[in-house]
């Protein structure tokens, strides 16, 4: 009966998780914002840096451990840039037009934003061009660099081949003077470690709209049975060391329990995506990925690689954790899946622990799912900026469509009030499981984790293809490390210099 309750408790939650994995798999391109490595601009614009609870540390859902954690250092490789003086900036002139391009998927968020814009600015004529995915991509890649196209680019981060190459080429407006001269803009209203992903050399060229944190979950009992303590996963070196030790102690165990046998691809993609590596130096057009940490990551993944991986059904991830089939339930991107998993685990007398995967700077790197930017060639820049503000607003980010689904596609709101509403509101949406509930303390713990990224990342899809093409042969035991790493770096160098 207990297992039946567990399966029912986790079913809806994990289906939500599965949809997240499906979206991420389909949009591998949506990797969104560079950190100190792919983020050539760093995080210096006067916005306070974030140090949150438990970067990479387990947080027990019975207790918030903020007082026990040390502030996390952000990436140390980024130079400091002076804060620009925008005091003499004048907002662009009023115009009566606004043009945006959209697709079915972009429209989930963009269409309600446009409707809000029309209500706030009834005298503006808004043109919305609904395009197929291929047509949309082709147009923004040709028109925006040529000074044509939409007044606001709303993107999953991959409509242009590399958002940061576009930034360095001067394709987008610096949004800094708009924000600095807007009395309604308050940086503290947003998750600083995420919105700072739009900075390049101290100037802000796009604003992230939604993001994903690398949250993973286990139980205190699972760690203890494998001979670990939560602090073993508190920093990148100890995190990867512990993953390697776990494999030697539990040879058949997975590091991440994920549905449908996707562990091989998830292991490599997630560890690389959230490691916060310095991948490309955009200012100099060179690759900057270091070999030592990259090899450790590849060796960790290689230890777990098997030709055939366990095909966990979506509703059995929590059961697999309780049965000690793996160390963590993999990337939990939504409050729904986290809360459902916690309730199910508690109903089986297990103590849930929530982690964020630490990056190589011992902070936490998030992934941006969507962003907004104003092209230099836009003819209606003021209206584009107004629409961008609506995309960042609590009303849009915390709102739902007529079907009761979030206005955001798969990620978390960068607007803190909307994020808080999502985190604290979701725990009211499910019935209790054997009397287990999600408490205010649980919500506080989760909100602290979700609002604590120190870094953000957009890894171009081309780089991820190179990763799979050149590093996977080493992981499968088909080629030597030196051969694979050399080929990977050569392709990165060519890509960076294009």
For 185-236, write each residue's pLDDT tens digit: 999 999 999 999 999 999 999 999 999 999 999 999 999 999 999 999 999 9
Looking at the structure of the chain, the number of domains it has is 1
104 CB-near residues (< 8 Å, 6+ apart): 130, 133
Residue 201, in any domain of the structure: no
Residue 306, in any domain of the structure: yes
The residue-averaged pLDDT of 89-104 equals 96
Residue 402, in any domain of the structure: no
pLDDT at 71 over 60: no
Residue-wise pLDDT tens digits, 266-281:
899 999 999 999 999 9
pLDDT, position 403: 79
* Highest mean pLDDT out of 26-40, 139-153, 432-446: 139-153
pLDDT at 149 over 90: yes
Residue 414, in any domain of the structure: no
Q: Which domain holds residue 297?
A: 2-33+49-72+213-365+455-497
Residue 224, in any domain of the structure: yes
Residue 89, in any domain of the structure: no
pLDDT, position 183: 93
Residue 228, in any domain of the structure: yes
pLDDT cut 70: percent of the chain above it: 81
pLDDT, position 58: 54
Nearest to 422 by CA among 459, 388, 386, 396: 396
From residue 112, give the alpha-carbon distance in Å to each of 38, 149, 244, 370. Answer: 31, 21, 46, 15
Q: Which residue has the tokens 């429209």?
A: 107
pLDDT, position 222: 97
Residue-wise pLDDT tens digits, 34-62:
333 344 444 333 332 222 233 454 555 44
What CATH code is carried by the domain that includes residue 60? 3.40.190.10
pLDDT at 29 over 90: no
The mean-pLDDT minimum among 32-46, 321-335, 473-487 falls in 32-46
User: How many alpha carbons fall within 13 Å on the CB side of residue 438?
Assistant: 25
pLDDT band, residue 331 (cuts 50/70/90): low
């Amino acid at each position: 009966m207990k297992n039946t309750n567990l399966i029912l408790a986790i079913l809806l939650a994990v289906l939500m998780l599965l949809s997240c994995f499906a979206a991420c798999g389909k949009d591998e391109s949506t990797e969104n914002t560079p950190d100190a490595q792919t983020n050539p601009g760093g995080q210096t614009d006067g916005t306070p840096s974030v140090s949150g609870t438990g970067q990479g540390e387990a947080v027990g859902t019975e207790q918030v451990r903020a007082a026990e954690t040390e502030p996390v250092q952000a990436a140390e490789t980024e130079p400091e840039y002076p804060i620009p003086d925008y005091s003499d900036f004048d907002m662009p002139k009023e115009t009566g037009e606004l043009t945006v391009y959209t697709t079915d998927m972009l429209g989930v968020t963009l269409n309600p934003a446009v409707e809000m814009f029309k209500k706030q600015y009834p005298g503006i004529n808004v043109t919305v061009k609904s395009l197929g995915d291929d047509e949309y991509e082709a147009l923004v890649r040709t028109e925006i660099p040529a000074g044509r196209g939409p007044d606001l680019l709303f993107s999953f981060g991959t409509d242009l081949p590399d958002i940061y190459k576009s930034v360095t080429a001067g394709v987008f407006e610096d949004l800094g003077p708009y924000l600095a001269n807007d009395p309604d803009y308050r940086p503290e209203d947003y998750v600083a470690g995420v919105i700072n992903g739009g900075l390049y050399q101290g100037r802000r060229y796009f604003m992230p709209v939604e993001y994903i944190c690398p949250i993973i979950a286990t139980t205190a009992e699972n760690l203890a049975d494998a001979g670990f303590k939560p602090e073993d996963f508190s920093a990148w070196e100890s995190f990867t060391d512990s993953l390697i030790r776990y494999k030697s102690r539990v040879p058949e165990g997975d590091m991440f329990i994920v549905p449908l046998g996707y562990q091989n691809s998830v292991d490599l993609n997630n560890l690389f995506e959230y490691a916060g590596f310095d991948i490309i130096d955009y200012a100099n057009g060179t690759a900057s990925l270091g070999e030592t940490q990259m090899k450790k990551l590849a060796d960790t993944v290689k230890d777990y690689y098997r030709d055939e991986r366990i095909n966990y059904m979506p509703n059995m991830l929590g059961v697999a954790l309780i049965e000690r089939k793996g160390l963590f339930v993999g990337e939990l991107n939504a409050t729904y899946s986290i809360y459902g998993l916690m309730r199910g685990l508690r109903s089986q007398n297990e103590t849930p622990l929530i982690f964020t995967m630490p990056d190589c700077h011992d902070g936490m790197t998030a992934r941006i799912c969507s962003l907004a930017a104003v092209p230099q060639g836009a003819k209606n820049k003021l209206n584009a900026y107004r629409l961008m503000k609506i995309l960042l607003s609590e009303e849009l980010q915390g709102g739902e469509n007529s079907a009761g689904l979030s206005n955001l596609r798969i990620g978390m709101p960068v607007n803190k009030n909307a994020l808080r509403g999502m985190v604290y509101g979701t725990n009211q949406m499910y019935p209790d499981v054997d009397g287990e509930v999600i408490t205010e303390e649980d919500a506080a713990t989760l909100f602290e984790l979700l609002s604590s990224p120190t870094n953000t990342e957009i890894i171009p899809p081309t780089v991820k293809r190179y990763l799979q093409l050149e590093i996977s042969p080493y992981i499968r035991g088909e080629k030597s490390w030196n051969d694979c790493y050399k080929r990977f770096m050569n392709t990165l160098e060519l890509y960076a210099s294009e």
